[in-house]
Amino acid sequence: MAINFVTRPPSNQQHYDEFWSGDPAFVQGEGAEHERKIERARETGDWSELLIQGSTPTKFVMRQIPGEIKRRILDRFIAGKSGGYDLDSLLLRLAVVDVIGLGDFKLRFTADEDWGKLATHELPNILDEFAPGCVAELGLAVYRKMMGPSGK
């Protein structure tokens, strides 16, 4: 099934689309220029410069993490109660609202007394199986979005 590659611009209030730069639908490269293209795509929401013609990447539809949850995450991370990889997975699970183009995968959610509604562990586990580094990259992208324009 072909997926229309239409993205929403990045937003600090609405849902936005996120992609993994290592997706086979994108041109792969190394070096500073390639990294700049990825950063530009992430900032603008326009990944067309990296897209291989006729390919469709997996799209992760994301939401902004609410301020109350953001503060709880920062407290946990700063206190050293969570490592970086655990944080990446948690951020991805909290932000993702839909995944389009990941085969037959159906995103499911669970309720957590600390975090509220979030995707099940199934998503990061599946991503880890076929795309090492995907969870870390997407988690970092969510973190940067959560921290605002400076990304810090």
Please give the chain's pLDDT, 152 residues, in tens.
Answer: 444 455 665 555 689 999 999 999 999 999 999 999 999 999 888 999 999 999 999 999 999 999 999 998 888 887 777 666 789 999 999 999 999 999 999 999 999 998 999 999 999 999 999 898 999 999 999 999 888 765 44
The residue type at 142 = V
Q: Report which secondary-structure segment, H or E, holds 71.
A: helix 67-78
CA angle, corner 80, sides to 76 and 74, nearest 5?
30
Residue 19 and residue 57 in contact, taking contact as beta carbons nearer than 8 Å:
yes
Which of 96, 90, 145, 80 is closest to 115 using CA atoms? 90
Residue 52 and residue 26 in contact, taking contact as beta carbons nearer than 8 Å:
yes
Beta strands in 7-145 (DSSP E): 16-18, 59-62, 96-100, 109-112, 116-119
User: Can you tell me the distance from the alpha carbon of 34 to that of 119, in angstroms, rounded to the nearest whole number?
Assistant: 31
- pTM reported for the whole predicted model: 0.86
